[in-house]
Amino acid sequence: MTRATGVAHPNIALVKYWEKRDERLILPVAGSLSLTLDAYPTTTTVELDETLDADTFTLNGAAGDETQTGRVTRFLDLVRELAETDTRAHVSSSSDVPTGAGLASSAAGFAALAVSAAAAFGLDLDAPALSRLARRGSGSASRSIVSGYAVWHAGDDEASFAEGVTGPDTRMVVVTVDRSTKAVSSREAMKRTALTSPYHDAWASSTAEILEVALEACRDDDYTRLGRITELHALRMHAHIQSADPPIRYLRAASIAVFDDVERLRAEGIECYATADAGPNVVVLTLPGDAAAVAERLAVHGTTTVVGPGPAASLVSAGAER
Ligand code: PMV
């Protein structure tokens, strides 16, 4: 194939990935668990062009900046190595994820790029191999290859991929309190916590333990246990991030206000749990029947969107010609 288009959706971690034990291979210090969403798809087309000296990258119709294009090129270099070719490519992506605001734009982006680039370069990769490849673009992208709940295994290069698990039927309410780009990228922040936080070892060992409990809750279809872990682990991650020197704070006043309201909702008998990635926006885990009420209640804090479990990354089209 010389041209292929793939689509992928973001995922929200219930047990978070934070910090790498191998920076080059993007191997995490511990495994993580997420839900791939049915909203905010990224669609990416990769087209090989023998006449190009360098890859090109456009995002939503505009030329990507140097950092974005550099990341795409480094990723395609891995694909070129596997395909044993030097051919460069045009990459165009469209996405309605609010880029850089902690809603995992890189997860959907690199999962869509992995699927489309593998097909365009003629690689026949199964889901674990695609997940391993996506991981090299952005760790959390390994999980967007998989539908619904996905566990990303820690381990060596071969073993570190995501696979599907069954779990309770849930919805998520995405509360977008701020769409601005975050000041410190998750990549940079991970490095800083690893180097300067006094909690680094405890973070890694407790995450591995909590993942086991979360997987047990999934197996038992235990929504309450999974929800409690989700909120606990998000707050632990943010505590860890805030303990870096200099400190990094992703949660804003509006984010904390959402956590407060989620606590109030629970006191009123609506069982829901808050989490937040490396940004100010909050995502609330609910039971399907409570999602609309939770969204309505939290709308005072920002835009609310109810999302559910979404599909695996997939190939939309592939061919030799336009
Ligand atoms: O994959 P990255 O480098 O965008 O890191 C994502 C880290 C968190 O979103 C904060 C947590 C997670 O597990 O997705």
Distances in Å between the Cα of 2 and the Cα atoms of 50, 61, 312 are 10, 21, 23
Cβ of 277 closer than 6 Å to ligand 1, yes or no, is yes
Q: Where are the domains of the chain?
A: 3-167, 171-307
pTM given for the model: 0.96
What is the CB neighbour count within 10 angstroms for residue 137?
25
Write the burial class of residue 100 (CB in 10 Å: 0-12 exposed, 13-18 middle, 19+ buried).
middle
Instruction: Using the CB atoms, write b or e for 258-291: b if 16+ within 10 Å.
Output: bbebbeebeeeebebbbbbbbbbbbbbbbbeebb
> What per-residue confidence (pLDDT) applies to 83?
98
Cβ of 139 closer than 6 Å to ligand 1, yes or no, is yes
> What per-residue confidence (pLDDT) applies to 127?
98
Could you list the mean pLDDT of each consecutive 10-residue stretch along the chain, which spans 322 residues? 92 98 97 96 97 96 94 98 98 79 77 98 97 98 98 98 98 91 88 97 97 98 98 98 97 97 98 96 97 98 95 92 52
> What per-residue confidence (pLDDT) applies to 98?
60
- Provide the CB-side half-sphere exposure for 209 (13 A, CA): 7
Nearest alpha carbon, ligand 1 atom 9 = 277
- The correct answer on CATH 2.60.120.260 for the domain covering 171-307 is no
Cβ of 259 closer than 6 Å to ligand 1, yes or no, is no
| Ligand 1 pocket: which of 18, 36, 113, 248 to mutate (most atoms within 8 A of CB) | 18
Q: Which two tokens stand for residue 91?
A: 């990459």
Cβ of 13 closer than 6 Å to ligand 1, yes or no, is yes
> What per-residue confidence (pLDDT) applies to 320?
75
> What per-residue confidence (pLDDT) applies to 3?
96
Looking at domain 3-167, its CATH architecture is 2-Layer Sandwich (3.30)
What was the ipTM of the complex prediction? 0.98
Sequence-distant (≥ 6) Cβ neighbours of residue 121 within 8 angstroms: 1, 46, 48, 79, 80, 82, 83, 85, 87
Task: Give the nearest ligand 1 atom to 32 CA.
Answer: 13
Cβ of 138 closer than 6 Å to ligand 1, yes or no, is yes
